[in-house]
Every structure is written in C-alpha cells, then in structure tokens.
C-alpha cells in the first residue's frame, strides 16, 4: 500500500485538533480558567493542553501580562485560522451525526428485476416514511453480477437470489440477511388440463414443451427436471418474464417461474400452480462485512429482513 507523503512544515507538525478547539475557547474567553469553565474542563487540563500545543508548534502562543493573557505573534496567526478550523470541524461533526442518525445520506442498492418491482418499492416506502432525508439509489443486475458489483464498491447492498442445487457461496467478505424463500410455480395456459389443480408434481409435466427463462433459472430448471427423471423438450428460451407468459398463453409451451414474478406480473391467460417437492429459491440481501455496520446499510438490510418475515407470515 502506498502511503501519502507529507511535505513541508506539516510533515513535522501534527496538531491534535482538540487543542485548536481549546485554544479557540481560551482566546474567546480571555483566560484558561474561563475556557475551562466554558468547556467543562479543569483549569490544569486546559493549561496542559495549551503547553502541548505550544510544544507541537515549537513556539509560545501566550504571554502572561498584568491584564491577563496576551497572544504572541504566533498566537495571533493561529487565532486567525482557529475560527475556520473549529467551524469546519463542527460542521463535519454535525454532518456525521446526521449520517449516524439517518437524517441525511444515501445507500446504493443493486437488485434483480423481479425484486425491483416487488420487494424494493415496499422497502423504500418504509424507509422514506421513517427517514425522509435518506436517499436510496437503485440499479439492477442478476446474480452473480450483483455480488461482483458489491465487491467492486458499486453498490452498498445487493439483493440476490440463489437456487439450492446451484448455490454459489457469497464468500467470507460478504454477510447476508435472509429475506424470503420464493417458491417456484408451473405456469400453464388457463385451458390446460392441470390448470385447476392445487399443486402438481414436476414429473407429471414430463411430456410437455417448455419455455426456459434466464440462464440461472434455466440451469435450475434443467437440474430439477433431471432429478424428476426426464429431459425437458425446450421449445423457446427468453429472459423476459412477460414474454414467457405470452408464449405460455399462446400455447407454445409451459414454464417454471418464481412466484414473486407472478405476484406483480401475470398474463390474464395463464395460471401459476405450486410444484410439489421443488425447493424454492432463496432471496438474500448482501453487504460487505466492512460496511454492514454503516447505519444506512444496516437499516436497508434490516428492512428487507423484516419485510420478508411479514410476507412469509402472511402466507
């Protein structure tokens, strides 16, 4: 790691900014005793800090006179800058407090499309209601691209899904908050012979033609069919969930689809039937270990976790 090189006199003078604050108060009040009273310090503590400041700068800042303290030339120079230093430090501290208390700031979220249309609006609405000054910036990506964006520092939280048969470990640098399990459903035309069933076994659909979805969904679909004892006849592939439903409605084939998609996007001529024995995909909110304690990031993770728990409880 390359460390920045300090140049000039600053390289030899490292001043504790707290000393500048005390110096500023001594100048404002006119004495160590008055400054101590104003700051809530003892007088010896103020005197000790001023001696430490003078040692750091290598020159006296005050002279004792019959009327009290007088500034030396060096003291007058420092006094000319102390106001702005204290103001800047105070402003910075106030802004940091606002960030800590979620009264300002932003958090960057990367989510997969079906979550962007369902989970994200609900989470953003809750956060906006309780913390109106907090800004959430949304981008979209499918996993694992969203997790890579998280590692590259392009987002603060990644909302991603994984399938139990092809689950990819997030890595030791990332922490995850469980959101919900998203069951898979068979998408059938409303006139299909099985359309009125409460559930269906995947093997019952072995002789059908299929519409396959996104690459990760497609991998899960093929593995699931293999486990059910058949190789699917894939008639069409597309990443577009609405196109999948349109093709199903037109009789081109049937499909497997996460129920989260059908909760916000459903073609009027298709139905979703739960598939027996097919494990759901897991939706998780991820953050880097180094960032999950940042207030805005922690709030977003907590909100997704709570939202998912409510959805599960509601059935």
- Kindly tell me the number of DSSP H helices and DSSP E strands found in the chain: 11, 13
Q: How far apart are CA 303 and CA 102, in angstroms?
A: 14
CA atoms within 13 A on the CB side of 253: 19
* Among candidate residues 77, 88, 70, the one with its CA nearest the CA of residue 27: 70
Question: Which DSSP helix (H) or strand (E) runs through 274?
Answer: strand 270-276
Q: Tell whether the model's pLDDT for residue 5 goes beyond 50.
A: no
pLDDT at 13: 54
Averaged pLDDT for residues 134-140:
94
pLDDT, tens digit (0-9, with 9 covering 90-100), for 286-312: 999 988 888 999 999 999 999 998 887
Helix (H, G, I), strand (E, B), or coil: what is residue 312?
Answer: helix
Judged on CB neighbours under 10 Å (0-12, 13-18, 19+), 146 is: buried
What's the rounded Cα separation, in Å, for the pair 213 and 221? 9
Better pLDDT: 188 or 89:
188
Band of pLDDT at residue 101, cut at 50, 70 and 90: low
Among candidate residues 296, 243, 286, 235, the one with its CA nearest the CA of residue 265: 243
pLDDT value at position 219?
87
168-197: per-residue pLDDT in tens? 656 788 999 999 999 999 999 999 999 999
Residues 7, 11: Cα–Cα separation, whole Å: 5
| Domains delineated in the chain | 13-100 (1.10.10.10), 106-159+166-173+285-314 (3.40.190.10), 184-279 (3.40.190.10)
**For residue range 209-250, what is the model confidence (pLDDT) as tens digits?**
999 988 888 888 999 999 999 999 999 999 899 999 999 999
Distance CA 168, CA 282 (A): 12
Among the residues of the chain, which ranges form H helices? 17-29, 32-39, 43-57, 73-100, 113-116, 119-130, 145-151, 215-227, 241-249, 259-262, 295-314
SS3 of 181, please? strand
How much is the pLDDT for 11?
Answer: 38
Burial of 283 (0-12, 13-18, 19+ CB in 10 A): buried
């Amino acid at each position: 790691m390359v460390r920045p090189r300090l140049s000039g006199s600053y390289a030899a003078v490292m001043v504790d900014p707290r000393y500048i604050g005390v110096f500023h108060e001594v100048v404002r009040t006119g004495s160590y005793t008055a400054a101590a009273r104003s700051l809530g310090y003892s007088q010896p503590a103020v005197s000790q800090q001023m001696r430490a400041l003078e040692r750091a700068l290598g020159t006296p800042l005050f002279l004792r006179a019959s009327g009290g303290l007088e500034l030396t030339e060096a003291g007058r120079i420092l006094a000319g800058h102390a106001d702005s230093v204290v103001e800047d430090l105070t402003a910075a501290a106030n802004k940091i407090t606002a960030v800590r208390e979620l009264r300002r700031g932003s958090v960057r979220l990367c989510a997969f499309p079906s979550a962007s249309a369902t989970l994200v609006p609900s989470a953003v609405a809750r956060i906006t209601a309780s913390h109106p000054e907090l800004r959430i910036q949304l981008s979209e990506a499918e996993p694992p691209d969203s997790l890579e964006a998280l590692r590259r520092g392009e987002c603060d939280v990644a909302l991603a899904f994984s399938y139990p048969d092809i689950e990819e470990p997030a890595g030791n640098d990332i922490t995850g908050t469980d959101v919900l399990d998203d069951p898979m459903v068979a998408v059938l035309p409303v006139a299909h012979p099985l359309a009125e069933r409460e559930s269906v076994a995947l093997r019952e659909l072995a002789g059908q033609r299929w519409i396959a979805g996104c690459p990760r969904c497609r991998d899960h679909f093929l593995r699931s069919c293999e486990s059910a004892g058949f190789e699917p006849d894939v008639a069409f592939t597309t990443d577009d969930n609405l196109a999948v439903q349109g093709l199903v409605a037109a009789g081109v084939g049937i499909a497997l689809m996460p129920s989260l998609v059908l909760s916000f996007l459903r073609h009027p001529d298709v139905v979703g039937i739960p598939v027996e024995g097919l494990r759901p995909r897991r939706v998780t909110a991820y953050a880097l270990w180094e960032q999950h304690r940042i207030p805005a990031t922690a709030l977003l993770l907590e909100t997704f976790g709570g939202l998912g728990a409510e959805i599960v409880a509601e059935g």
